[in-house]
Amino acid sequence: MSKETFFITTPIYYPSDKLHIGHTYCTVATDAIARYKRLRGYDVMFLTGTDEHGQKIEEKAKEAGVTPQAFVDKIVEGPGGILDLWKLMNISNDRFIRTTYDYHVAAIQRIFRKMYDNGDIYKGAYKGKYCTPCESFWTESQLVNGCCPDCGRPVHDAEEEAYFFRLSKYAKPVQDLLESGTFLEPASRVNEMINNFIKPGLEDLCVSRTSFKWGVPVDFDPGHVVYVWVDALFNYATALGYMNDRYKDFEKYWPPVNIVGKEIVRFHSIIWPAMLMSVGEPVPKKVYGHGWLVIDGGKMSKSKGNVVDPYLLADKFGVDALRFFLLRTFPFGSDGNFSNELLISTINTDLANDLGNLVSRTTAMIEKYFGGILPAARAADALDDELKTMIGELPEKYAAQMDVFQPHLALEEVFRVIQRANKYIDETAPWILAKDEANKPRLAEVMFNLVEALRISLICLTPFMPESCDKALAQIGAQSCRGWDDAVYGARSGEIRVRKGETLFPRLDMEKTLAELEAISLPAKAPTVKPVLPDVTIDEFAKCDMRVCKVLSCEAVKKSEKLLKFQLDDGSGTPRQILSGIHKFYEPEQLVGKTVVAILNLPPRKMMGQDSNGMLLSAVKEVDGKEELHLMILDDSVPVGSQLC
């Protein structure tokens, strides 16, 4: 009998820059689901790829002085590129599509013509607001504060002769589909789509461009290229051979489960099914819109200098620990706040303490008490019942969560068993049982239960940490008893051979590791802007007496490399002496006569034996790892003695 098929996809990523931890999160999650389905016996097709056309890529290639094709080739296939990243992360995709592949380009032309021939694409004129980075036209009413509702950047007026897709015609069937309850998940995203896009009225969609060249040409109207989202969305079909001869898998695997980030749910749950309805093909089984990884609550971005590099983390912590962390920590449907501290503490708690300890304690005890061979003669006790029940129930509970795309909850179930097993060691105290030869069968039972807790947990963990689970299963001698059907308590009979191996997940020193990460990530960082400090009240702020002062004199302090001594006119009539450590940035003569700002009501301090009554205000920032300082120098028209408020 042929196996049931399962087709799962990631979004195809823009090769406009290196991919970061957010993209890795999506691909790793999809990989874990694909591996889980294979474990369950499905014939899986797992597709990922790259979305290579569009104005943004054209512009970036121009900036780099290369052709768009050369530009994307390097990011996709070059060293340290996208293909290398997925190899490193142990991604088990069965196919990889690039939208610049000939077979895809030809198929998109046929698909476009098919929709034109059936009357769903027509020629018109487009006037609207265009967001270049998002490649999206918007209507005035969709803008947020006059900017792109997706990325918040400015839009510009654009008008061009263009082809339109009759999206409005599909408003009702798409709404019905969304309301069916299973097509789009999590459910919260359904209301968002209906209220924000369907209810205000679905307008026809502009599906061609004439303002740039880097795209799939409309073969019957030269000068027009196909809108990048039409080109991109159909990748899921062309990669199986839809409208092309490169592959022949469309009948076998269609329809897909599309895993996508929340920001592209609109394209996948409205435009995508409407276009499939137009060409007469079944809509996806499901679109799952996962949340985002954010940093300090905000978006990762190059300009903020907080883009997290998966290569660096995988190198430092190991691929499996990184994969595990991403899926254990963040609920898949919601946003998650990424931090290095969280990564390190997850590795320490779950992997080093709970799982790692269980593996090493169990294997060490079996070696010590039984020379590594666990005998078949065992004596059970009521004390074992709770753990045995939990082991027995684990596969079903785990599967129930995996089947609804909740990997973090599936892992929660596994770790409940692992934690219970660690507690069971303390309850049964094997080291006491081992003192009396007569207890051997009882001791063997305790060890057996630990091995079974591990074996079944490891089977469930394999989709998340394939390599580490292979190693751990080998340590407990379970290489040939690790299929889904083997995930049953007691599936092994006879003697069990165990061999303690390397420590799978070493414990990390939090402070030291954070410092090491900081050091290696420095070169990749843009200028760092310090986060805003905790709130102060207006009354607290008003307590700072900051005044405009004139520099009467300034000289270097003897024997100090840093200090300058200022006499200032603060408007009181009595000169005020302030010392400031800014000699590295200014020579005294540059500052005489300047209008500056000082805070006056700080407690007086002695510096190099001299009094300092206040502090000069400067603007300070770290640039390329070096501190840059600019004294606050005001326009001379600001009266001396003015208070800052």
Task: Report the interface residues with ligand MSP, using CB under 6 A.
Answer: 11-14, 22-23, 25-26, 51, 232-233, 235, 260-261, 264, 292-293, 300
For residues 193 and 58, give the distance between their C-alpha atoms in angstroms, rounded to a whole number: 31
Cβ-contact 95, 45 below 8 angstroms? yes
Closer of 292 and 325 to ligand MSP (Cβ): 292
Distance CA 568, CA 575 (A): 5
In angstroms, give the least distance from the CB of 51 to ligand MSP. Answer: 3
* Cβ proximity to ligand MSP, 98 vs 442, nearer residue: 98
Nearest-approach distance from CB 379 to ligand MSP, in angstroms: 51
Q: Could you give the CA distance from residue 420 to residue 392 in angstroms, rounded to a whole number?
A: 13
Closest distance between ligand MSP and the C-beta of residue 336, in Å?
8
CB of 56 to ligand MSP, least distance (A): 10
**For ligand MSP, the closer CB: 232 or 366:** 232
Residue 18: phi and psi, rounded to 5, are -65, 145
Residue ranges in 65-157 assigned as alpha helix (H)? 68-77, 82-88, 102-117
Q: How far is CA 516 from the centre of its chain?
A: 22
Encode 229-247 in three state secondary structure: HHHHHCHHHHCCCCCCCCC
C-alpha distances (whole Å) from 579 to each of 221, 279, 524, 587, 600 are 74, 77, 36, 14, 12
Q: Is 640 exposed, middle or buried (0-12, 13-18, 19+ CB in 10 A)?
A: middle
Least spacing, CB of residue 223 vs ligand MSP, in Å? 24
Cβ 453 to ligand MSP, closest distance in Å? 33
Q: Which two tokens stand for residue 156?
A: 């510009």
DSSP tag of 147: B
The gap between the terminal CA atoms of the chain, to the nearest Å, is: 80
Least distance to ligand MSP, CB of residue 293, Å: 4
Task: Answer whether 287's CB lies under 8 Å from 268's CB.
Answer: yes
Q: Residue 264 or residue 458: which is nearer to ligand MSP going by CB? A: 264
Q: Which three-class secondary structure state does DSSP give residue 179?
A: helix
Q: Return d(Cα 242, Cα 170) in angstroms, integer.
A: 22
- Report the residue number, 239 or 264, with the smaller CB distance to ligand MSP: 264
Nearer to ligand MSP, 242 or 369 (CB): 242
Provide the minimum distance between the beta carbon of 274 and ligand MSP in the complex, in angstroms, as a whole number.
Answer: 14
Task: Return the bridge partners of 137, or none.
Answer: 130
In angstroms, give the least distance from the CB of 356 to ligand MSP. 28
> Which residue's CB is nearer to ligand MSP, number 51 or number 354?
51
Secondary structure letter of residue 462 according to DSSP: T
Closest CB to ligand MSP among residues 12, 344: 12
Closest CB to ligand MSP among residues 232, 239: 232
Whichever of 334 and 572 has its CB closer to ligand MSP, that residue is: 334
- Residue 594: how many CA atoms within 13 Å on its side-chain side? 17
Q: How far is the CB of 114 from ligand MSP (least distance, A)?
A: 19
Residue 301 vs 503, nearer CB to ligand MSP: 301
Contacts by 58-63 with C-beta closer than 8 Å and gap 24+? Answer: 58/212, 58/213, 58/214, 59/132, 60/16, 60/17, 61/214
Q: Of 250 and 424, which CB lies nearer to ligand MSP in the complex structure?
A: 250
Minimum CB–partner distance for residue 492 and ligand MSP (Å): 40
Shortest Å, Cβ 326 to ligand MSP: 9
CB of 31 to ligand MSP, least distance (A): 13
Distance of alpha carbon 458 from the chain centroid? 25
Of the pair 256, 614, the CB lying nearest ligand MSP is at 256
By beta-carbon distance, which residue lies closest to ligand MSP? 22
Render 369-429 in DSSP notation, one character per residue: HHTTEE-S-----GGGHHHHHHHHHHHHHHHHHHTTT-HHHHHHHHHHHHHHHHHHHHHH-
Q: State the Cα angle at 456 between 453 and 462, rounded to 5°.
A: 130
Query: What DSSP letter does each residue of 19-69 carry, written as one string?
Result: --HHHHHHHHHHHHHHHHHHHTT-EEEEEEEE---SHHHHHHHHHHTS-HH
The CB-side HSE value for 341 (13 A sphere, CA atoms) comes to 4
